[in-house]
Amino acid sequence: MKVKSLFLMLTGSIFFTGSMILFTGCDKNDDPVVEPNTIVKVATDNGFTTLVSAVRTAGLEATLKGPGPLTVFAPTNTAFSAITIPSDVNVLKNILLYHTLGAKVEASQVNATPLTYGVLTANGTDSVYVKRVGTDVYINGVKVATANVQAVNGVVHVIGSVLLPPTGNLVQTVVGSGYDSLAVAVTVASSGPGSVDLLTALSNINNATLFAPTNQAFRDLLSPAGLNLPNIAAIPKATLIAVLRNHVLASRFFAADIPAGTNTVPALAGTITFGNTASGVTIKGAGGSAGNITKVDKVAKNGCVVHEISKVLLP
């Protein structure tokens, strides 16, 4: 009996000790690894699959998992579907960094006065423009859909468009955007007798707004129903200069800055009248008929912005 009892005690002791070792070993090896709630994790958890994929392709995952603090304006998957995502990794990287501020900026820090923030770009020269319009916050004219999604290394604001970095000054942006007739008009106005060097002036201007007529708008201007002239060079030089100056505001003006109703603002020459209704936004000089603003908020360097319009504005 004593032998049997001793055997049972030893067996139980070994089983108990082995179990303790077993469970202790499981606890040590199977503890789940908790990923810090970084900006990358926030984007992943909220379904920003295209953004996360682009971040990894561009080699920016370590940056957005770093200590920060950072602010990221995160485009939705739908926003990315509206553009062709560049295959060039450096171009993609520059676009993604154009959405990233090197400081934590929450919506409550933004007021009606436009704020200019530098972005984490390779050249360090590009900026984004953030302001409050009513209760909404905008960046480069794009409304923040959801603000202040917190991360351990910063904050994320959700936007419905992909921000594209500027590629040049106003003149370079006009040429690069295919506004060939406008480029010809500026060149003609800047050369020969009676000219004013608008080419240099528009290349060097800061924080301005240009309303860029389409090529069709210039064809309409020259047609028999318009000026009935064979080409842009046939427009009297003084008239052409006044017309072109009527398309430029001396301040940066995003589409979100256009108030509701009818409003008239001064241009470099003459005035521009906006009609902002539920059906859209129209634009008109002092003369001629109203046209439509067909594309908005293309940012150029030097703090400038370009909007496409369907009519040439007559002063």
Domains 39-159 and 170-309 share a fold: yes
- The DSSP code for 198 is H
Residue 146: C-alpha distances to residues 105, 157, 176, 298 (Å) = 14, 6, 33, 22
pTM of the model: 0.84
> So what's the pLDDT on residue 96?
94
Instruction: Enumerate the domain spans of the chain.
Output: 39-159, 170-309
State the Cα–Cα distance between residues 105 and 114, nearest whole angstrom.
14
State the Cα–Cα distance between residues 293 and 255, nearest whole angstrom.
9
pLDDT tens figures, 86-113: 999 999 999 999 999 988 999 988 887 7
pLDDT tens figures, 21-43: 434 444 555 666 778 889 999 99
User: 158 near 145, Cβ under 8 Å?
Assistant: yes
Q: Tokens 């020269």, residue?
A: 125
Which of 88, 165, 82 is closest to 120 using CA atoms?
165
Q: Which residues lie across from 272 on neighbouring strands?
A: 265
User: 81 near 88, Cβ under 8 Å?
Assistant: no
Residues whose CB falls within 8 Å of the CB of residue 167, separated by 6 or more in sequence, listed in order:
173, 176, 300, 301
> So what's the pLDDT on residue 111?
80
Looking at domain 39-159, what is its CATH homologous superfamily?
FAS1 domain (2.30.180.10)
Between 280 and 125, the more confident residue is 280
> So what's the pLDDT on residue 118?
74
> So what's the pLDDT on residue 115?
75
Which segment of 75-79, 108-112, 195-199 scores lowest on mean pLDDT?
Answer: 108-112
State the Cα–Cα distance between residues 121 and 99, nearest whole angstrom.
10
Q: Which residues lie across from 275 on neighbouring strands?
A: 262, 282
CA 4 to mean position of chain CA atoms = 82
Token pair belonging to 205 = 């201007």
For 170-309, CATH gives: 2.30.180.10
237 pLDDT exceeds 60?
A: yes
Which of 37, 245, 243, 258 is closest to 156 using CA atoms?
37
> So what's the pLDDT on residue 112?
75
Q: What SS3 string covers 219-234?
A: HHHHCCCCCCCCCHHH
- The DSSP code for 308 is E
